[in-house]
Structures are given as structure tokens and as C-alpha cells.
Chain A
Amino acid sequence: MSHDTLAIIWFGLWGLIWTVYFILDGYSLGTGMLFPFIAKNRQERNQIQEAIGPFWGGNEVWLITAGGATFAAFPAVYADMFSFLYTPLFLVLIALFLRAAGLEFMHKDDNPTWQAACKWAFTIGSFLISLLFGVTFANLYRGLLIGKEGYEGNLLSLLNPYGLLGGLLFVALFLLSGSLWIQLKTAGDTAKRAAKLSRPIAGVAAALLALFFLATANRTPLTDNYADYPILWIVPFIALLAMLAAVRFVFRKKIGLAFTAVCITIFAKMAFGFIGMFPNMLPSKIDNAYSINLFDAAGSKLNLTIMFAVAVIFVPIVLGYQLWSYRIFKDKILKESAKGYQ
């Protein structure tokens, strides 16, 4: 395999790892955002905690893997992406602290202030992670303010209307995913409340997705690749189709199918973005000459080969034991027996 082919394969894997992260953590983040609105007493809080307890840590490791894989396969992207997006990244890190500590420490003390603080840390942390990642990826589609001297933007320049739209879209998709997950994993009042919320959220998510595609076509250079290869339009089309299917399934109470459709939506939406960016990884809004593309950023051939072999061997093993863990915890969690994080 030539160095360039390997680099392209790694670009695909890079996109895939981020996508898997958003699909998986999407439901745990959504569950976190919905938590105070669905769990009304301690037993219900236990139920919701237990619905994501065995999984969310593994979901978050996909994010760490995304960081590590960026570092290993595209060192220059790792260096520039995270130093350019310095402030938002630290906000994400803090949000990750809040979510994890809030969730796991919530019931370790009976003091009501402690519990309220943990509850909101969990919820607000989940919200900020979703929003900020949405904003970040939308800005990648739009192009960052990379100039001759390096990065010229700041936090406020990321919070442009298109970026915010991308953030809200993530929030909506994850909320939907979370509300469906709660229905899949718990029984009783929590599931009923989640079902009530699913409907309006599904509508809002579908509207935001359509708006986002429109804005992307009008406001960003992302669709240039699509103009060159019109067949690629099938990807955003799948995203919309899956989204509409999700809405329909939500209203027809086919929760498992609705959840699957949301996962496909997130997958196709992310694929749409990565295909549009190709071969850039950090596109410049100022001038494409300053963009950082995958060929410039790629690691050495030996490094990419070894990392590829490691991925081919170990990703299936990881997926294997993660699936096993989903099987162990396949039963619905009941209010009477839920223990949560004790």
C-alpha cells in the first residue's frame, strides 16, 4: 500500500472513530440532559443511572481513542486542532469532569445540596459536551480562520450562527437518542415521560437537520466535493431519510427502530461532513492554501502501517467484549430493583 493510500484509509478511520463516539455517547449525553426532567425521585434516578452506568465510560473511551488516533496518525492535525480550538476544548474537558463526577458521586451522600449540585453537574456537563462538539464540527465544515500566521479566530468567532446551528443539532439528536434509550432500558414512569418528550424532540431534530443541510449548502464550501461527484448526494439523502423514519417510528412507538434510525442519521450526518472536507482535515476559511490536509499531516508510512494493524486486530476484540456487556445488561431496569451508583 502506498503512503497516500494508507493516509486516506486513516482519514476514513479517523472520521469513523469520531462518528462512533458521537453515536454511542449521543445516547448517554442525551440521557444526561434529560435526567432531571425524567427522574422524579431517588428510585427513578437510580433507574436512569443504571440505564447508562455500565456503558457510558466505554462510550467516552471512543473520544479518548479519537484523540489518540489523531495524534498517532495525523500529528499536525492533533497539534493544530487542539491548540487552535484551545478554549472550547478546555470547556469540553471541564464539562466531561462535571458529567462524570456528577453522575457517579450523586448518591454517595444524602445531603440535598450535594445531590442537587451533582444532578445539575451531570445535566449541564452533558449539555455542554453536546453543544460544543456540535459547534466545533460545524466550524470545521465552514472552515476555521487559519491565516498565514496561524489561527486568527477565538471562541466568539466559533459561535457564529452556523456554528450554533450545528451545536443545537447535536443537542437535539442526542436528546432524541437519549429519550429513546431511556425507553429501551427502563420500564414504568421514566419510560412514559421519555416517550412524551420523544415526540416534540423528534420534530425539532428533523427541522434542525433540514435547516443545517440548507445552511451547509449555502454558507460553506462543504458541498464542492458533492458538485464534483453528484452520486455522493446519497449520503445526506440517507441522513434525511433516516431522520424522517425516526420521526415516524417515534410516533408509531417502534422504539428500537427509532433508535436505530437516529444512529443512522448521526452516522450519515457525520459522513456527509467528512466527505465534504476531504482531503482537508482543518480547512481554512481565509484561503484554502492555509488548510491542513491529510497528506501534509499524515504520520510516516511505518507508523500508519503499524497503527492500522493494531486497529485491525484490536477493534474487533473491543467490539466483542462491549457487545457481551450489552448482552449482560439487556434486561429493562425496574423501579423496584434499580440500584444506580451507590
Chain B
Amino acid sequence: MDEVLILSRIQFAVTVVYHFLFVPLTIGLVILVAVMETRFAKTGDRMYRKMADFWGKLFTINFVLGVITGITMEFQFGTNWSEYSKYMGDIFGSPLAIEALLAFFLESTFFGIWLFGKDKISPKLRAFSMWMVALGTNISALWIITANGFMQNPVGYVIRDGRAELESFTALITNPYAWHMFFHTVISCYIVGSFFVMAVSAYHLLRKNETPFFKKSFKYGLIMAVFAATATPFIGHQSGVFATKIQPAKGAALEAVWETQEKMPFHIVQFPDAENEKNSIEGLSIPRIGSFLYTNSFDGKVTGLKDIPADERPNVPLVFYSFRIMVALGIFFLLASWFGVYLYRKNKLENSRRYLKMMLYSVLLPYVAINVGWIVAEAGRQPWAVYGLMKTAEGVSPISLSQIIFSLGSLVLFYTILLVADVYLLMKFARKGPGTELATGTEGGVKHVS
């Protein structure tokens, strides 16, 4: 059973990370494409049509993979976490069903209308369709995070007949933990989308290709990035303060706090040593800031890991380093986007080759940040699947080792093929630039329009 548990956890990690490679770009990019469509509908300026088509194409390639990898998520709780599903299903199932009903239908139907309705509906309706897709993706995030929020902070339930049953739907959907996560997650997806647009634009600006087009695109990305990267540290900070109240073990692991203390300093340089329950190095300390970051008060008391039973602590170095990386990247995104505003204002953007190069090579960093963010949230909650109610090990399905090896092996294989195909197509079309609206070609002597 142990191997099954470990492999099931690996499989969950693999499928959820793959899913969250595609979804954040969908959530971020859809808003920018919708804005471009709206600008076109309002002004009739062909430039916006071209922009919506070019970025919409990249959106389209990415969108389908978010859908594909999402289906696995919908069924995986049943296949691999059947005991969890039986125990939690009365509460966990309804957000998933509502997500499908409210979000997935909206997304897929209006995406179809937008993609194929180009010549059949007015620009206004096209813009409307894209906004409906955007609404769908955000509603989807809300409901799945409502489900996850329950795992982080169970509310509105009673234990009856050996399972958790819903007692208050209102409590479930107003769970403050979920709302913290929702804003932090969705806004971090806007960072992914905006940095993607800026990176592709930088690539072309560096080559002096279609400069007005990509300058404008860069500007759209930049506006979104400035907003999102400025909001993120505040929201993240509030998330941390709140998470620590609910899950002291996760909280303590964020900064690897071993001893309970007041007026805690913040160590810029720090290396945790989990075996000896201490930090091997603590350097560049700023007094009292630690307490402030944890409690919003310079005198606040922070619970240390030593006051938490060893079998209820998460993997401290994993959470600690993941958190550090996320915060460091958050600061980088903040500086990079405000510097971009400065350059844009001074009208120096297209000639700042170093900055543009930096933005081009930064395209993957937001992906790193969101994934280490989820490691903080999820690994930080271990050993619990549902905090305080059910341990992860208790939730696994009674399946055989050969079954999990088969599923994990084939998922890794197919997901990797899909990822390679996706990256190949994204790079190909991103490099090609906007070009003419409809390419024609011939195949076997027959002319075709696409």
C-alpha cells in the first residue's frame, strides 16, 4: 500500500502541475484578448483586430490543453482518492459540479462562438463572447478554490455516519481562506498572462518587427502586470497572516521558525536544518520585521515548530525554500514592471535592449512562482489532506500497484507529448508574428484557405 500511496501522490502532483502550466495563461491572456476585442468593437481600428487575432491564436493553442488536463482532475479524486471522496464528497463534490455547470459550459460554448463565429457575428458580439470566456475561467477558479479552501480550513460541516456532511452552504462559499487564495491565485495568473505578452512582444521589438503592433501589445501587458505585481505582495502577505492563524504549522514552516517567540526578527539569509530542528545559518537580520510579517504587529507572537507535534509538521525545507523563491520572484515582477512603466513613459522602451532581453528571458518565471506557490499551500498543509480532519494517507484508493504504474506512466508520457507540441506551436506562432489575416496554400493541387 505504501508504494501505491507514494505513487498516487506523485501522480496527483504531476497532473495538477501540468494542469496549472496551461490554466494560468488561459486566465491571464483571456482578459487581454477580450480587451483587444472590445477596443476593436469600439474604434473599428484594424490594429486591434490584428492584435486580437494574433494573441487569440496563442490563447487558442493553450486553451485546449487546459481543458484536456482538467478532465483528468475531475475524475482523479474518484480513481485515486476514493476513500477521500467517500469521506468528503458531500462537501467537495458540489463545488466541482457547480464549476462544470456555471463555468465550463460558459467557457466552451462562447469559445466556440468566438473562434468560429468570426464572420458570422458582429465585433460587439465577438467581444462579448470573449468576456464570457473570461468570466467562465474566473468562475471556474473560484469554485475549484472553494473546494480547496475547505481542505485548508474546513467550515460548514458536521461529521455524521462516518463522513463529513454539509451543514452550511453559506459557510462553505464564504470561507475566508478560500477568498484569500482566490484573489492571490487569480491575480498571480494575470502576472503569467501579462509577462507572456510582454515577452513575446519583446522578442519582436528586439528584431524591430512590427514595432507599433508590439509596442501597443507590450503596453497592454504592462498595464496588467503593474496592477497584478503591485497587488500581489499585499495579498500574499494577508494570505500568510491568515494562513498562520488557521494552520500554525504551515505558518511556522514559511520562515522556518523553530522556537515560539515574540518580537521576531526577519533573516534575509537563512538555511533551515530540519534534522536538528534549527537554522544552521541566520544572517542579515532585521529586528521585529518577522513578527510584523506574521501578525501585522511588531510585537506579535509566532508559534514555533517545536511546539507542534513532529507528526503534524510539513516538510519544512520544501515549504521554506518554495516560499522564499515565490517572494523573491514577486519582488522581481514588481520591480520589472514598474521599470517598464518608467521606460515606456520616457519613450525608451523599444531601444532598451537589455530590458527587453530580460523580459524575454523572464517568460517562465511566473510559471515557477505559481507552482512554488501551490507547493507552499499544499505541501504546507501536509500531513493533512483536509486540515485537522483527514490525513492524506487515509484518502488513497485501494488500487493495485500495477494500475497506478500504468496510469502514472501513460499520463507522464502523453502529457509530455502534449506539452512539447504546445510549446512548439506557441513558439512557432509567436515568432511568426501577426502577418496576413488568412494564409492560403495548396495541397495536392487543391487550394485551401487556411
Contact = CB atoms under 8 A, between A and B. Distances in A.
Interface of A: 41-43, 46, 50, 53-55, 57-58, 60-61, 63-65, 67-73, 75-76, 78-83, 86-87, 89-90, 93-94, 96-97, 100-101, 104-105, 107-110, 150, 299-300, 302-303, 306-307, 310-311, 314-315, 318, 321-322, 325, 328-329, 337-340, 342
B428 A109 contact: yes
B382 interface: no
A310 B446 contact: no
Interface of B: 57, 60-61, 64-65, 67-68, 70-72, 74-75, 77-80, 82-83, 85-86, 88-94, 96-102, 104-106, 108-113, 115-117, 120-121, 160, 163, 165-167, 169, 397-399, 403, 406-407, 410-411, 414, 418, 421, 425, 428-429, 438, 441, 443-444, 446-450
A65 B68 contact: no
Given A46-B448, A83-B399, A71 B79 contact: no
A54 B89 contact: no
Contact of B89 (A78, A315, A325, A337): A78
B141 to A, nearest CB: 16
16 contacts: A57-B112, A58-B105, A65-B105, A68-B93, A68-B97, A71-B93, A72-B94, A75-B85, A76-B89, A86-B407, A94-B410, A101-B68, A105-B421, A107-B450, A321-B106, A337-B449
B446 A42 contact: yes
A107 B83 CA distance: 43
Given A100-B68, A108-B61, A303-B90, A64 B85 contact: no
B398 to A, nearest CB: 6
B78 A82 contact: yes
Nearest to B79: A82
Given A300-B166, A328-B120, A75 B80 contact: no
Contact of A54 (B97, B112, B425, B450): B112
A315 B105 CA distance: 10
Given A60-B108, A73-B93, A89 B448 contact: no
B430 to A, nearest CB: 13
Contact of A78 (B93, B98, B425, B450): B93
A303 B94 contact: yes
Contacts of B113: 54, 325, 328
Nearest to B84: A79
A216 to B, nearest CB: 27
A186 B113 CA distance: 18
A50 B428 CA distance: 23
Contacts of A306: 94, 166, 169
A340 B450 contact: yes
- Most chain-A CB neighbours within 10 Å: which of B60, B71, B77, B160? B71
Given A58-B108, A93-B75, A150-B398, 9 more contacts: A43-B449, A61-B100, A72-B89, A79-B82, A80-B82, A97-B68, A108-B429, A321-B110, A342-B450
Contacts of B414: 94, 97
Contacts of A76: 86, 89
Contact of B100 (A64, A94, A110, A300): A64
A61 B105 contact: yes
Contacts of B110: 321
Contacts of A46: 448-450
Contacts of A54: 112-113, 115-117
A9 to B, nearest CB: 15
Contacts of A328: 113, 117, 120-121
Contacts of B97: 65, 68-69, 71-73, 307, 310
Nearest to B91: A303
B90 A299 contact: yes
Nearest to A66: B100
A89 B79 contact: yes
B398 A93 contact: no
Contact of A300 (B88, B90, B120): B90
A78 B82 CA distance: 8
Nearest to A45: B448
Contacts of B96: 67-68, 71-72
A82 to B, nearest CB: 3
A65 B100 contact: yes
B169 A302 contact: yes
B406 A57 contact: no
A329 B105 contact: no
A51 to B, nearest CB: 10
Contact of B92 (A65, A71, A107, A109): A71
A330 B243 CA distance: 52
A306 B120 CA distance: 39
A111 to B, nearest CB: 11
Contacts of A100: 64, 67-68
- Most chain-A CB neighbours within 10 Å: which of B101, B411, B414, B449? B101
A228 to B, nearest CB: 30
Contacts of B443: 41-42
Closest 3 A/B residue pairs (Cβ) = A75-B89, A82-B78, A72-B93
- Most chain-A CB neighbours within 10 Å: which of B75, B117, B418? B75
B422 to A, nearest CB: 9
Contacts of A70: 78, 93
Nearest to B160: A300
A217 to B, nearest CB: 31
Contact of A307 (B94, B406, B421): B94
A79 B89 contact: yes
A68 B71 contact: no
Given A73-B93, A303-B165, A321 B109 contact: yes
A302 B166 contact: yes
Contact of B101 (A65, A337, A338): A65
Contacts of B166: 299-300, 302-303, 306
Contact of A101 (B80, B421, B441): B421
Given A105-B421, A329-B120, A87 B403 contact: yes
A76 B394 CA distance: 16
Given A78-B93, A325-B109, A318 B397 contact: no
Given A54-B115, A57-B112, A311 B75 contact: no
Given A75-B85, A78-B85, A329 B78 contact: no
B104 A61 contact: yes
